[in-house]
Amino acid sequence: MTALSTRAKLVVATASAVLLGAVAAGYAAVAAEPAPAPTTAAGAAAVTLEPGPRLLTVTDRRVSSVSLSDPSGPRTVSTRECLRVYAAAGTGVCLGPETAWSYQLVVLDAALGATRTFAIPGLPNRARVSASGRMVSWTTFVGGDSYTSSGFSTRTGILDSRGGKPVMSLEHFAVTRDGRAYRSSDVNYWGVTFAADDNLFYATMSTGGKRYLVRGDFAARTVETVKENVECPSLSPDGRRIAFKEAIDADPAKGWRLSVLDLATMRVTATAETASVDDQPAWLDDATLAYTLRQSDGRPDVWAVPADATGAPRLLVPGAESPSPLI
Amino acid sequence: MYLSTVSRPATDPPDPGPARPGRRIALVSGNVIALGTVSLITDVSAEMVTAILPLYLVLGLQLSPLAFGVIDGVYTGATALLRVVGGFVADRFRRRKLVAGVGYALSAVAKLGLLLAGRSVPAIGAVIAIDRLGKGVRSAPRDALITLSTPPESLGRAFGVHRMMDSVGAFLGPLVALAVLLAVGQSYDAVFVASFCIAALAVVVLVLFVRERPPGTATDDSDQVRVSVREALGLLREQSTRRIVLAAGLLGLATIGDGFVYLLLQRREDLDLRWFPLLAVGTSLAYLVLAAPIGVLADRVGRLPVVVGGYAALGVTYLLLAGPVGGWPLLALALGLYGLFYAATDGVLIALAGPVLPARLRTTGIALVQTGQALAYLGSSVLFGLAWQAWGPQTAIRVAAATVAVILLVTVVLLAPGFRLVTRRVS
């Protein structure tokens, strides 16, 4: 190797630092996102959570609503910033930014005002409100400690709006797996859905590389496994079926099929949606599911499909995500 | 500040003989400072990505990150094998700097790979694997270069300074990432490009300032014959080498992993989950502060006692997690001791192993030590998970503490005869 003097080496190093710094700064200048364009025509009407034939969604991180009779038509967009939203009986839950780096849960009243706010760890993923508006649940992703250990985990909590402190994580609930008491450090929960009594709930529990549908008793702080390979359950309004995403060949790396489980017969029916759905579906009525699908560049759209094997998926709200009917 | 006393490179060649009393305040060699600088810059780059990767995957790409856990075990095995192969290549062609450079360059390229991978989960997995591969390949030749450019009696100090610089980089990385994000909005791409540029600068510094061998060292005769595979395999026939590799593996078995330690601490204290990432920061801080002074201490009192002390600190950390102390004293004590464990073992163990390994096979030997440790750690974290499942976390951690005690005893028996030779000093 040619012997450079120390001075020459320092000159080369400094020049490299300046050059590389310029590349980084130049790229940053080009990549810097322009200020978000003002959202279109909110009109005079404001977004409200009052029950009605409307669909609540998130459009460009803002809570918005459309008429269910014309879902791709005019959209009312609020200033409330959420990554995930859900509402029922005039009560909403919004998972949105607290600071640039942290997120919070906001319980919303019908006019999108905050009735309760608390910080949640990690990155927003799922949110639900029980049909009565009393129970609220959320799921976040918590990153691993290091790039090289890639240990992602989830945190799922439940708030009883009549009962004081939120349960920040289900990890302390007693688990019964296949009829036996079970514990493990790798238990993760996500995607809660509530039954009509505001105590029984369903959720996904993962442990040992498998994902289970669990039935939980909130008051007793217990869960028991019901069925394998059921993720992101969503209980139908009549309480008889669960819509969920089923990992193809029980391998999430192959994608998910949007399916429906009949709780009486435990029979699973795949819907007509063949694209991989990574969402907790919402029931528009007892026969129709709504869910978010992403285009290849990550842009979301809300779609709907019949909750049996019939029909075909149809585009409901373009450029929106996190659907929640307000009926 | 400690660094100000080490900015002038030592010009003396490494002296395999007894230390001269006049060099008590020996400085750290220029090569070690150069390698430390490369590690510092590289860690800024790596930790920038670490800090924002979850944000990028979940909010930027809207991917389900749970799919990423699957790739872990397979790559650890592959990396372990390639680490040893890389170590052998570095020894055979006497190109330790080149192999280390390839490792650093691979990780730099991986940063750009994140830009190109888009939303493809397999592509992102492959990019993360390349990054990890680069990390695996570079650490053994880097540590070998440190041992080869430092007199044996100052190895503790040299590794201490190197690891301190390394942790400073790890500490700065997330801050730089946040600064970039603040400047450009939510453009994760800009962070990856900045991270690549910083990693590339580290490679430039390595090429310019790191020396394959210290100035003034004549290549000794044994260097004229190339290291053969047979000779490398013979390394494990040497009793002293076998002992140190075995001991490293055993010590690896004593560690259950950061994830479990922080999880237990969080559960014990019912800590607000938002503060969870700060547990790792607390440990790094203790590591950063203690690495250099403990390295110096290891040179004075011997490296084996310091390594033993470090693992004792680990055992006490485990006991604390199951013990009666609670609240802030528990947090401060546990994180401080855990950082002390890292400071007293990570570099010091290599400083202990280095002189035992023949210079011509130093990189291969160090790669064996590190691989043994990594594989054992993988096994022990799986075993701890099973123990947790069977007995619950409190019993599992007590068993882990007892395991540390047993392993320490065995290690002392294994290494005590050899270590007397290694730490011989003339006063």
CA A327/CA A54 separation, integer angstroms: 7
Q: How many CA atoms lie within 13 A of B190 on its CB side?
A: 23
Looking at the predicted structure, is the pLDDT value of residue A159 above 50?
A: yes
Backbone phi and psi for residue B243, each to the nearest 5 degrees, phi listed first: -65, -45
CA A189/CA B66 separation, integer angstroms: 12
Looking at the predicted structure, is the pLDDT value of residue B60 above 90?
A: no
Q: What pLDDT, in 10s, does the model give residues A277-298?
A: 999 999 999 999 999 999 887 8
B410: how many CB neighbours lie within 10 A of its CB? 13
Q: What is the pTM assigned to this prediction?
A: 0.81
Residue B242 confidence (pLDDT): 87
Q: Which residues pair with A180 in a beta bridge?
A: A177
- Tokens linked to A167: 């349960």
Residue B424 confidence (pLDDT): 41
pLDDT higher for B83 or A209? B83
Residue B408 confidence (pLDDT): 93
CA B71/CA B122 separation, integer angstroms: 10
Q: What pLDDT, in 10s, does the model give residues A14-36?
A: 999 999 999 998 988 887 765 44
What does the pLDDT average to over B47-65?
A: 78
Mutate to test the interface with B, among A148, A173, A205 (most CBs of B within 10 A): A148
Residue A301 confidence (pLDDT): 95
Chain A residue numbers with beta carbons less than 8 Å from the beta carbon of B63 are 278
Q: Which residues pair with A63 in a beta bridge?
A: A58
CA distances from B59 to A259, B56, B65, B142, B323 (A): 25, 6, 10, 36, 39
> How sure is the predictor about B423, in pLDDT bands with cuts at 50, 70 and 90?
very low
Residues 78-107 of A with CB under 8 A from B: 83, 100-102
pLDDT higher for B15 or B288? B288
- Tokens linked to B164: 């301190």
CA of B164 vs chain A CAs: smallest distance (Å)? 18
Q: Is A105 exposed, middle or buried, given 0-12, 13-18 or 19+ CB atoms closer than 10 A? A: buried
Q: Which of A123, A150, A151 sits opposite B58 (nearest CB)?
A: A123
Cβ–Cβ gap A141/B58 under 8 Å: yes
CA A269/CA A253 separation, integer angstroms: 21
For chain A, give the mean pLDDT: 89
CA B102/CA B89 separation, integer angstroms: 12
Q: Which residues pair with A245 in a beta bridge?
A: A231, A258
Chain B residue numbers with beta carbons less than 8 Å from the beta carbon of A155 are 273
Of all residues in chain A, what percent carry a pLDDT higher than 90? 72
Cβ–Cβ gap A20/B54 under 8 Å: no
Q: Give CA torsion, residues B319, B324, B327, B333, to 10 deg.
A: -30
Q: Would you call A181 an interface residue with chain B, using a CB distance cutoff of 8 Å? A: no
What sign has the CA pseudo-torsion B96, B99, B100, B105? positive
Q: Which of A33, A145, A206 sits opposite B186 (nearest CB)?
A: A33
Looking at the predicted structure, is the pLDDT value of residue B67 above 70?
A: no
Q: What pLDDT, in 10s, does the model give residues B21-42?
A: 444 445 788 899 999 999 999 9
CA B188/CA A28 separation, integer angstroms: 10
pLDDT higher for B304 or A152? B304
A312: how many CB neighbours lie within 10 A of its CB? 10
Q: What is the largest CA-CA distance in chain B?
A: 63
Q: What DSSP string runs through B154-178? A: GHHHHHHHHHHHHHHHHHHHHHHHH
Residue A38 confidence (pLDDT): 42
Residues 220-239 of A with CB under 8 A from B: none
Q: Are strands A153-160 and A135-142 parallel, antiparallel or unpaired?
A: antiparallel
CA A287/CA B317 separation, integer angstroms: 56
Residues 7-66 of A with CB under 8 A from B: 9, 12-13, 16-17, 20-21, 23-24, 27-28, 31-33
CA B372/CA B366 separation, integer angstroms: 10
Looking at the predicted structure, is the pLDDT value of residue B294 above 60?
A: yes
Q: Would you call A188 an interface residue with chain B, using a CB distance cutoff of 8 Å? A: yes
CA B210/CA B194 separation, integer angstroms: 23
Q: What pLDDT, in 10s, does the model give residues A94-140?
A: 999 998 778 999 999 999 999 999 999 888 999 999 999 999 999 99
Cβ–Cβ gap A150/B389 under 8 Å: no
Least confident of A41-50, A179-188, B120-129, B279-288: A41-50
Residue B308 confidence (pLDDT): 93
Amino acid identity at B384 = F
Report the b/e string of A72-92 with b at 16+ CB within 10 A.
Answer: eeebbbbebebbbbbbbbbbb
CA of A106 vs chain B CAs: smallest distance (Å)? 16
Could you tell me which residues come within 8 angstroms of residue B16 by beta carbon, excluding any fewer than 6 positions away? B152
Q: What pLDDT, in 10s, does the model give residues B314-351?
A: 999 999 998 887 788 888 999 999 999 999 999 999 99
Three-state SS at B238 = coil
Q: Which residue has the tokens 């799986």?
A: B382
Residue B105 confidence (pLDDT): 96
| Residue B87 · residue B366 · CB < 8 Å | yes
Cβ–Cβ gap A152/B66 under 8 Å: yes
Residue B241 confidence (pLDDT): 86
Mutate to test the interface with B, among A19, A61, A152 (most CBs of B within 10 A): A152
B1: how many CB neighbours lie within 10 A of its CB? 5
> How sure is the predictor about B14, in pLDDT bands with cuts at 50, 70 and 90?
very low
Least confident of A40-44, A307-311, B85-89, B149-153: A40-44
CA distances from B282 to A122, B134, B279 (A): 19, 27, 5
Cβ–Cβ gap B62/A33 under 8 Å: no
Own/partner pairs, A182-186, CB within 8 angstroms, 24+ separation = A182/A207, A182/B389, A183/B388, A183/B389, A183/B392, A184/A208, A184/B385, A184/B388, A184/B389, A185/B260, A185/B263, A185/B385, A185/B388, A185/B389, A185/B393, A186/B385
Residue A56 confidence (pLDDT): 96
Residue B256 confidence (pLDDT): 87
Which of A241, A239, A216 is closest to A226 using CA atoms? A216
**Per-residue DSSP letter, B191:** H
What does the pLDDT average to over B192-209?
A: 94
Cβ–Cβ gap A121/B274 under 8 Å: yes
Backbone phi and psi for residue A103, each to the nearest 5 degrees, phi listed first: -125, 155
Q: Are strands A222-228 and A174-177 parallel, antiparallel or unpaired?
A: parallel
What sign has the CA pseudo-torsion B6, B10, B15, B17? negative
Q: What pLDDT, in 10s, does the model give residues A67-100?
A: 999 998 899 999 999 999 999 999 999 999 998 7
A19: how many CB neighbours lie within 10 A of its CB? 14
Residue B279 confidence (pLDDT): 83
**3-state SS record for chain A:** CCCCCHHHHHHHHHHHHHHHHHHHHHHHHHHCCCCCCCCCCCCCCCCCCCCCCEEEEEECCEEEEEECCCCCCCEEEEEEECCEEEEECCEEEEEEECCCCCEEEEEECCCCCEEEEEEECCEEEEEEECCCCCEEEEEEEECCCCCCCCCCEEEEEEEECCCCCCECCHHHCEEEECCEEECCCCCEEEEEEECCCCCEEEEEEEECCEEEEEEEECCCCEEEEEEECCEEEEECCCCCEEEEEEEHHHCHHHCEEEEEEECCCCCEEECCCCCCCCCCCEEEECCEEEEEEECCCCCEEEEEEECCCCCCCEEEEECCEEEEECC
CA distances from A194 to A128, A135, A161 (A): 8, 8, 14
Looking at the predicted structure, is the pLDDT value of residue B366 above 60?
A: yes
Q: Which residues pair with A212 in a beta bridge?
A: A205, A228
A1: how many CB neighbours lie within 10 A of its CB? 8
